[in-house]
Amino acid sequence: MLKVGLIGYGAIGKDVAKYIQEGKAGDVTLEAILVRDKNKHEHLASGFFYEHEDTFFGLGLDIIIEAAGHEAVYAYGKAALSSGSDFIIVSVGALADDSLLHELEAAAKIYNKKLIIPSAAIAGLDRVAASMFNEVDEVRLVTRKPPSAWRGTIAEEQVDLDTLTEPFCIYDGIARESSKLFPESSNVSAALSLAGIGFERTQVQVYVDPDITHNTHHIIVKGYFGEVEVKVQNTPSADNPKSGYIVAMSICKILKSVTSPIVVGV
């Protein structure tokens, strides 16, 4: 049985912990959760919670999952890999920083561990990655989210979320920039870029859309292999509308695949 550690205990972290503890994530056990203040969770099984990173990374964990934002990738990515753990990144937009990406890639090679990026809020990354074996002409992502998903973001500087009556494009450009501008809402563009033709060539449009209730992502890829279009609609998390329930499910799918004798969809 593989020992799993979790960094962060927000909406995604809570769902991941729940699925693991219900036995739905394969032959794994949740050993520890790294948080800023474990006293906030003392009403739970407090033995799971750690404040001190040295203790957490010294537990001999097989897999560590980041679910705490871009800062956590910077702070703990190398430490996780060097501790002997594979590292699953939720906040993949942090990897738009080439220096960080190269640092973590080098650490993964040195310690013979894997840096794992889940499909999370989108689908079709297996097809996108496979298409890279020959010429690819276009990779494009169109993201639409309802106004509630944009509160507390820079979208509020561009549009009045309370009075908006029609879709409003808040960004039209390349994935590298969108990943930095929308760290909680556009991690999908980073994952798509890493699977495909890179941050500079992946085109991204981002909309605030008052006509929808689900977070939607539309991927278009054209190349030697043909064409593919994938559209997903994710139910926003009640605890964090910027994300969706599918993110935790995607992480647990990875955990289940690691310990399963049959793996589908890689």
Which three-class secondary structure state does DSSP give residue 203?
A: strand
Q: Which two tokens stand for residue 214?
A: 């689900």
Which three-class secondary structure state does DSSP give residue 126?
A: helix
Angle at 254 between CA 252 and CA 257, to 5 degrees: 110
Helix, strand and coil percent figures for the chain, each rounded to 5: 35, 25, 35
Tell me how far apart the terminal alpha carbons of the chain are, to the nearest angstrom. Answer: 22
Query: Do the Cβ atoms of 104 and 77 come closer than 8 Å?
Result: yes
The answer to whether 217 is a known catalytic residue is yes
Catalytic hit among 41, 214, 217, 218: 217
Which candidate, 94, 61, 60, 96, places its Cα nearest to that of 77? 94
H or E segment to which residue 173 belongs: strand 168-174
Q: Which residues of 204-219 are buried (b: 16+ CB within 10 A; e: fewer)?
A: bbbbbbbebeebbbbb
Give the DSSP per-residue string, 59-91.
S--SEEEE-S-HHHHHHHHHHHHHTT-EEEES-
Query: Do the Cβ atoms of 215 and 149 come closer than 8 Å?
Result: yes
* Enzyme catalytic residues: 217
